[in-house]
Amino acid sequence: MKPTFHAKNLSDPLRRRIELAIAVAQERLLATHVEHALRLLDLVGDYVPFDHALPIYTRLLRLSEDEARVITTRALAILGERAAGGDPWPELEADSGEMESDDGRGPLSFIHQVRQRVRGRVNEELRRWIEVSAAATEVAVLVTHVDNAINFVDVLEKEMPFSEAIELYLDALGVRDSIAEVTYYTATAKLKDRILPAKKQPEERPEPRGQGRGSGGGGEERRLRVVEGERARS
């Protein structure tokens, strides 16, 4: 999760604020990944050894080697803390050759490996669990990206337009294009109440003459009284 941000032509206070915002964003993303990786371990632990479940997670989420290493280390540390508290360690895989990679290195080929490993009537449900968990994680990571982008806007609102602040975040975190575009539009949409002018309240139209409060039928009533008075005098 190394940032690609390079401080050029920036004051020292601004550079430090950006570096702090990057650090906060990285920690939020790491926490999101670790949370969902542990959820996957809890979900499939009875079927897939954890030393295979974590690579499944990092490959399905298309994480870099650095990201996978950091997330795996944090997840293992939490598992170790749980074990120290009395929880058993997840089971290790005895045969490490079962999940040898094939020639394909993209996420789809690895999904195929996962499907092959958990194929069968019983494990068909397990396969669906893994795919749904991966999708839920992608959404959670997207939400974290959006929150981080808006935080960049808040931190840099006096120095640059909101669009540049969001783009700076996406570049600094190296967000892949497919996620970056959705993050940009979602974060921008969430800023609409700050950016767009307030909606004008509709102006009250003047009431037509003769239809104001208490005027309904008033002229006709006075005319009837005049006619009745003339009849009485005659």
Residue pLDDT, tens place only, 154-203: 999 988 999 999 999 999 999 999 999 999 999 999 999 988 888 777 77
Count of the separate structural domains present in the chain: 1
Specify if 218 maps to a domain: no
Specify if 77 maps to a domain: yes
Q: Which two tokens stand for residue 55?
A: 């690579």
8 A C-beta contact, residue 12 and residue 20: no
Residue 123: domain span = 12-195
How far apart, in Å, are the Cα atoms of 223 and each of 53, 211, 219, 228, 229?
A: 93, 17, 6, 9, 10
Residues 17-75: tens digit of each pLDDT: 999 999 999 999 999 999 999 999 888 888 877 778 888 888 888 888 999 999 999 99
Specify if 95 maps to a domain: yes
Percent of the chain with pLDDT over 90: 36
CA atoms of 2 and 99, how far apart (whole Å): 29
Specify if 67 maps to a domain: yes
CA atoms of 77 and 44, how far apart (whole Å): 19
Global confidence as pTM: 0.69
Question: Which has the higher per-residue pLDDT, 231 or 135?
Answer: 135
Nearest alpha-carbon partner for 77 in 53, 47, 69: 69
